[in-house]
Amino acid sequence: MLLLVGLGNPGPEHAGNRHNIGFMAVGAIAARFGFPPARRRFHGLMTEGSIEGKRVALLCPTTYMNESGRSVGEAMRYFHLGPAEVLVFHDEIELLPFRVRIKTGGGNAGHNGLRSIDAHVGKDYRRVRLGVGRPEDRDQVANFVLRDFAKAERDDLAAFIDAIAEFLPRVLEGDEAGFMNKVTLRLNPPKKKEPPAKAATPPD
């Protein structure tokens, strides 16, 4: 079994925040693969189903970001899972908007949700880092991630979240590079090469 965790803050006032892109991703995965409605478990909202024959639980902690680890730890203990069976989807200010990277372990770079999970279960889980960009002023990071995506970004946001869900099976099969490549190409398709200009025909 795999546990996929989306990080965010509960409540409609936070639903469109950059900090909630993890919730958005897990919600899109549940919708694409026909998971049943989530119910309250482990201090969060959880649903279980399968993706291409693999048993998967989806969890969105409702503890607020800085207590996410309490929810994740309870779910892991209940299902007897180790960190290798956990993928955490979270906002990443060190990536350009709508870029994705996956890594295992490492630091939390000041992300309160990751810091809480590290404290409860250790660092050896996989992180799906979802780029949201960053403000020029480092002192404005907290305000920036707690603001909604701009209207001009919302079409790209929708395409990004849809691509995360569509290509997720590649991650479950161990093809993380393929997943990242497919998502990147969906948002940044290669430009078509213009045909070479024809040489001018000299006059008779």
Region of 84 on the Ramachandran plot (φ > 0 left; ψ -120 to 50 alpha; else beta) = alpha
pLDDT in tens, 37-67: 999 999 999 999 999 999 999 999 999 999 9
Q: Is a pLDDT exceeding 90 seen at residue 185?
A: yes
What domains, with CATH codes, occur in the chain?
2-187 (3.40.50.1470)
Catalytic positions, please?
19
pLDDT in tens, 133-145: 999 898 899 999 9
Distance of CA 94 to the CA centre of its chain: 14
Candidates 165, 111, 103, 158; CA nearest to 134 is 111
Other beta carbons within 10 Å of 101: 15
Residues 172-183 have a mean pLDDT of 96
